[in-house]
Amino acid sequence: MNKLIHEFINYLSVERGLALNTLESYGRDLRQYSQYLQAGDDEALDLASRAQIVDYLLHLQKQGKATATIARRLAALKAFYQFLVREKYLEKDPTANLESPKLEKRLPKVLTIREVELLLAEPDPSSPAGLRDRAMLELLYATGIRVSELVSLNLPDVNLDMGYIRCTGKGSKERIVPMGSMAIASVREYLDHGRGRLVRDREEQALFVNHHGRRLTRQGFWKIVKKYAEDAKIDKEITPHTLRHSFATHLLENGADLRSVQEMLGHADISTTQIYTHITRGRLKEVYARTHPRA
């Protein structure tokens, strides 16, 4: 089973060009499924029937797994079994016609413009780390890129004179995203006065580095954001995507068109971007109810 999972992950990497985070997620989900099968009476892959897969999904439900988690695990199984049938390891796909559980559409949490300003004001610009942190937060809010895209940026990916960054998103798709004057100024100050005091290897290409002088990780960035949110006394649950969500919402609230926001976010499908229109409509209703004399 592990050999087949490895072959499948290799196929996703080479043939489909999926991002490392996606590959790790598929691998983790399928290994947990393999462990579940091996804990039962039937360990052989060809005995993994539709009934067994349904039992596995029910097992996840009994464990209290979120609907989104179960849906993701089923999606991984479907892709895996489709691969096995295509490669002639199996004759029939046991996941065929298995429906994914319906997901609740949860609106992403966003910061107000005032809360964004408080967060961006927290880093101390008198230290190299503070200059780096301010540049990261400004850049993230200015462009709406994913945290994984932020920490993957290299020096040649940033063009401060032209005011844009080049980043590689999901499916190894490259896109160009404009950045505003505040972000340009913050990144320039970090490059001029901060990065050189953090980096140790002059050949290092990572734009944002940690105190060891190596590329900052997503986990490292997440700790930084949580600390500044606490220091700024922002009483909201903040996730690594909060600034990305805030970026999209604030653009739409101020008149940006949906297609442009989709392009900047790197969404393959505009329906993914449309969730932010629900937020802005909700805000409009709040403003109307609060301000109209006959509301």
Q: Which residues pair with 215 in a beta bridge?
A: 209
How many other β-carbons are positioned within 10 Å of the β-carbon of residue 84?
A: 20
Three-state SS letters, 154-212: EHHHEECCCCEEEEECHHHCEEEEECCHHHHHHHHHHHHHCHHHHCCCCCCCECCECCC
DSSP string spanning 52-96? HHHHHHHHHHHTT--HHHHHHHHHHHHHHHHHHHHTTS-SS-TTT
158-159 sheet: strands from edge to edge: 158-159, 164-168, 174-178
The angle formed by the CA atoms of residues 240, 158 and 174, to the nearest 5 degrees, is 70
- Distance between CA 261 and CA 184 in Å, rounded? 20
- Distance between CA 4 and CA 87 in Å, rounded? 11
- Distance between CA 222 and CA 107 in Å, rounded? 21
- Catalytic annotation present for 81: no
Residue from 50, 65, 170, 214 carrying the catalytic annotation: 170
Residue from 73, 146, 195, 250 carrying the catalytic annotation: 146
- Catalytic annotation present for 241: yes
Which DSSP category does 35 fall into? Answer: H
Residue from 73, 132, 134, 244 carrying the catalytic annotation: 244
**Which distant-in-sequence residues (6+ apart) come within 8 Å of 15 by Cβ?**
none
- Catalytic annotation present for 170: yes
- Catalytic annotation present for 146: yes
Helical packing angle, 242-253 and 258-265, nearest 10°: 160
Catalytic residues: 146, 170, 241, 244, 267, 276
